[in-house]
Amino acid sequence: MVKTLLMLLCVTALSTPALAQNAATGAAIAPDMPETFTVNTDRFDFIRRDVMIPMRDGVKLHTVILIPKAAQNAPILLTSTPYNATRMTSKADSGTLRSILQGYDNMPDVIVDGGYIRVVQDVRGKYGSEGDYVMNRPLRGPLNPTKVDHSTDTWDTIEWLVHNIPQSNGKVGILGVSYDGYTALTALFNPHPALKVSVPMNPMVDGWMGDDWFHNGAFREEMLSYIYNQDATRKKSVIWWSNQYDNYDLFLNSVSAGQLGKERGMEQIGFFRQILAHPACS
């Protein structure tokens, strides 16, 4: 107890003159936090790069590149996603590539053991990417009069990657599940010469007959929450506020899918306005 009191007296004695001087001169106390902090990654087994890759129309897409430190002449494995590239490549507070790639659309055993350079990109209009988001953006043609689509964005991305990652061997694969499977599939239309393989798993393709928007032509009300979460904001900053169990009763008691969506303000969403054209949603 005596030692503790003596220590407190010493600390007080040492700090009082400085505090008194600061008070007298009006000087600020030096902050603990630096203006910028540089993380020491010497012991990490990978190099992380966050880049904005330009597309042919000038829009830049946010892209996370994870390069194993031992990589030399390594292939690139790409995923294009609307589900937050930063989050998908930050699954743990860790300096090991295997740890940070746990979870959706990542296969850490394949990526790490195969020595791949991992690249995950936000599709245009979502999270860190510029441009406008269009759900399942159609390929250029009758439904898309612009000069860009997921196919051209993938082409432009691969073109940039093979010229700006010196550790790569210039060969690229693309994979994805669900929406990410859709972008993997569209990459096969006018594919870049460096694209050697595409693995689209359960891609969102036939929304009329399949299990995304309609099932054999019948609208699936449970997809309202997905559309709301995905299309309302760039960074999913507003979300459908009922959990899955509440949704069951909510859907059963609603007059129609269209009416329920209108009550939630979904007429502001372009994709929902297209859904409303279906008789089952009116």
pLDDT in tens, 14-28: 455 555 555 566 778
The CATH architecture annotation of domain 207-281 reads Orthogonal Bundle (1.10)
pTM for the predicted model, two decimal places: 0.85
Question: In which element (H, E) is residue 278 found?
Answer: none
Task: Give the helix ranges, DSSP H, for the chain.
Answer: 2-25, 85-88, 97-100, 108-113, 150-164, 179-186, 223-231, 244-253, 257-263, 270-275
CATH match of 41-205 with 3.40.140.10: no
How high is the pLDDT of residue 3? Answer: 58
Q: Domain extents for the chain?
A: 41-205, 207-281
Nearest-10 Cα torsion for 274, 276, 281, 282: -160
203 near 105, Cβ under 8 Å? no
pLDDT less than 70: residues of the chain: 1-25, 211, 243-247, 280-282
What digits encode the pLDDT tens for the residues 215-271?
887 788 878 888 999 999 999 999 887 765 666 777 777 777 888 888 889 999 999
Angle (deg, nearest 10), helices 179-186 and 150-164: 80
195 near 158, Cβ under 8 Å? yes
Distance of CA 18 to the CA centre of its chain: 49
How high is the pLDDT of residue 22? Answer: 57
How high is the pLDDT of residue 260? Answer: 85
